[in-house]
Amino acid sequence: MINGTLRSDVDRLWEAFWTGGIANPLTVIEQITYLLFLRRMDEIQTTKEKQSAKLGGPIKDPIYPPKYKALRWSSFKDKDPDALFALFTRPDAKNDNLTVFDFMKQMGREGSVFSEHMKGATFMIPSARLLDRAVQMIAALDMADRDTKGDLYEYLLGKIATAGRNGQFRTPRHIIRMMVQLMAPQPTDTICDPSAGTCGFLVAASEEIRRTHPDSFHEKKFRDHYNTNLFTGVEFDSSMLRIGAMNMMLHGIEHPQLIGQDALSKEQGHISERFSLVLANPPFKGSLDHDAVDPAILRTVSSKKTELLFLGLILRMLRTGGRAAVIVPDGVLFGSSKAHKQLRQELIERQQLQAVISMPGGVFKPYAGVSTAVLIFTKTDSGGTDNVWFYDMRADGFSLDDKRTPQLTEEQLELQYTEPTKGAKTLHEKSNIADILARFGTKGESKRARTDQSFLVPFAELKANNWDLSINRYKEVVYEHVKYASPAELINGKKGEPGLRQLAAERVKLLDELEGLLK
Q: Nearest 5°: phi and psi at 479?
A: -95, 135
Q: What is the pLDDT of residues 408-466, one digit of tens each?
A: 998 999 999 999 999 999 999 999 999 999 999 998 899 999 999 999 999 999 999 99
pLDDT-derived band at 367 (thresholds 50, 70, 90) equals: confident
**What DSSP string runs through 277-309?**
EEEE---SS-B--GGGB-HHHHHH---SBHHHH
Q: What is the pLDDT of residues 314-330, one digit of tens each?
A: 999 999 999 999 999 99
How distant is the alpha carbon of residue 488 from its chain centre? 61
**CA 170 vs CA 341, 428, 451: distances in Å:** 28, 25, 33
Q: Which CATH superfamily is domain 163-474 in?
A: Vaccinia Virus protein VP39 (3.40.50.150)
- The domain made up of 4-144 has a fold known as Ferritin (1.20.1260)
- Mean pLDDT across 340-349: 96
Q: What is the mean pLDDT of the chain?
A: 88
* Cβ-Cβ contacts under 8 Å for 110 (sequence gap 6 or more): 41, 61, 63
**pLDDT score recorded for residue 288:** 66
**pLDDT score recorded for residue 364:** 86
Nearest-angstrom CA–CA distance, 389 and 401: 28
Q: What is the pLDDT of residues 212-271, one digit of tens each?
A: 999 999 999 999 999 889 999 999 888 888 888 888 888 888 788 998 888 887 665 568
**pLDDT score recorded for residue 393:** 97
* Cβ-Cβ contacts under 8 Å for 194 (sequence gap 6 or more): 234, 263, 278, 280, 282, 310, 313, 314, 317
Is the CB of residue 22 less than 8 Å from the CB of residue 125?
A: yes
Is the CB of residue 306 less than 8 Å from the CB of residue 350?
A: no
Please state at what angle helix 128-140 crosses helix 4-19, rounded to 10 degrees.
170
Provide the whole-model pTM: 0.85
Per cent of the chain over pLDDT 90 is: 52
- Mean pLDDT across 479-485: 78
pLDDT-derived band at 166 (thresholds 50, 70, 90) equals: very low
pLDDT at residue 187 tops 50: yes
pLDDT-derived band at 289 (thresholds 50, 70, 90) equals: low
pLDDT-derived band at 272 (thresholds 50, 70, 90) equals: confident
Q: What is the pLDDT of residues 91-125, one digit of tens each?
A: 988 888 999 998 888 875 455 677 777 777 889 99
Among candidate residues 243, 240, 230, 298, the one with its CA nearest the CA of residue 266? 298
pLDDT at residue 167 tops 60: no
Give residue limits of the domains in the chain: 4-144, 163-474
pLDDT at residue 168 tops 60: no
